[in-house]
Amino acid sequence: MLKIAIDAMGGDNGCEPIVEGVISALKKNRYFTAVLVGKKDELLPLIPQKFDERIIIHQADDVISMHDSATDALKRKESTAYQAIELVKTGEADAFVSAGHSGASMSLATLRIGRIKGVSRPAIATLLPTVNGNTLVLDVGANVDCDAKNLREFAIMGQVYAEDVLGIENPMTGLLSNGEEESKGNEVSKEAFKLLENVPNFVGNVEGNDIFNGSVDVVTCDGFIGNIMLKTAEGVADTIGKIIKNNLRRSLVSITGAVLMRKVFKSLKLKVDYAEYGGAPLIGVKAPVIIAHGKSNAKAIQNAIFQAIAAADSSLNQDIEDRLKQFKD
């Protein structure tokens, strides 16, 4: 049975939504054990007695806050994040989920769990909604400065993740640029284009709008551009939602229309709700690591756990190692 180590204290809203999400996941999946890393006296009152056999509490009092430096995480060996990562490193847990300090989670995972053979830099991936499904984009924050080989590596890891975890056959892959033509982009992206031409299912350069129109399954970019793109997309979605909400209240006709279209609005909300996706996987480390949003609710934690289980149940790491060998310079 899989064991998922969860930083139970790291979220913005305390341990309550995290424990609630864990319990929800346990109700829907009987084949894993949750290891909650945190303060036992705060966690125990939140856990129904019937889950005692499926929840293990690993005591840790120190919590790395969002204001702390990511580099400090390696020194704070009694912190919840460090202890949870160590459980994965030693084989006492199979995957790690955290809604805490993302920089600390990345640093600890990379340096304590270690990288898959052949991976120079792990990357954070995220799923963005399209009309008919989702597009996997990486990197969205782990590496702000990248060279062409890094971008090729991200593309290959993204393809394998799309195949093994998302179940996409022959995922079409693009390189994010400022135009579709091969001549577009900066020096790094132009060099990356040449390297990617030998990667199966590479469709060439793609623009920002292609991420959302469903024309590609995987998009590779550096973490600087990827993070700006992600935050922009989140901001646009939030603003559009507020504009629609404000206009629907202006007249009886619009209110009536909103009632008639409530199923459409509900479907739209689900499509853009981060909680539906759970979290962002850190691809390239030796065990599944899912980085959830700091403000994650119970549903987001539940789905982050399901992401971790799906990755742990796959041959992702070995497949990434094998695929990268094919493109070793």
- Residue 271's H or E segment, with its range, is helix 262-272
For residues 160 and 227, state if they share a domain: yes
Strands (E), 43-186: 55-59, 95-98, 123-129, 134-138, 173-176
pLDDT grade for 254, boundaries at 50, 70 and 90: low
In a domain, 328, yes or no: no
In a domain, 43, yes or no: yes
In a domain, 322, yes or no: no
Residue 85 sits in a domain whose CATH number is: 3.40.718.10
> Residue range 79-91: average pLDDT?
94
Q: What residues are paired with 3 via a beta bridge? A: 33
Domain boundary among 225, 245, 274: 274
Residue range(s) defining the domain that contains residue 50: 1-119+284-315
Lowest mean pLDDT: which of 108-112, 129-133, 168-172?
129-133
pLDDT confidence of residue 238: 80
> Residue range 173-188: average pLDDT?
91
In a domain, 114, yes or no: yes
pLDDT confidence of residue 264: 57
For residues 135 and 263, state if they share a domain: yes
For residues 87 and 191, state if they share a domain: no
CA dihedral 196, 201, 207, 208 (to 10 degrees): -110
In a domain, 329, yes or no: no
Sheet holding 202-206, edge to edge: 55-59, 32-38, 2-7, 95-98, 289-292, 279-283, 123-129, 134-138, 218-220, 173-176, 202-206
For residues 78 and 202, state if they share a domain: no
In a domain, 279, yes or no: no
**Rounded-to-integer distance, Cα 138 and Cα 123, Å:** 6
- Identify the DSSP state of 274: G
For residues 23 and 111, state if they share a domain: yes
User: What's the number of domains the chain is made of?
Assistant: 2
pLDDT confidence of residue 100: 87
pLDDT grade for 248, boundaries at 50, 70 and 90: confident
Token code pair at residue 309: 């289980």
> Residue range 193-211: average pLDDT?
93
Longest dimension (CA), the chain: 65
For residues 39 and 171, state if they share a domain: no
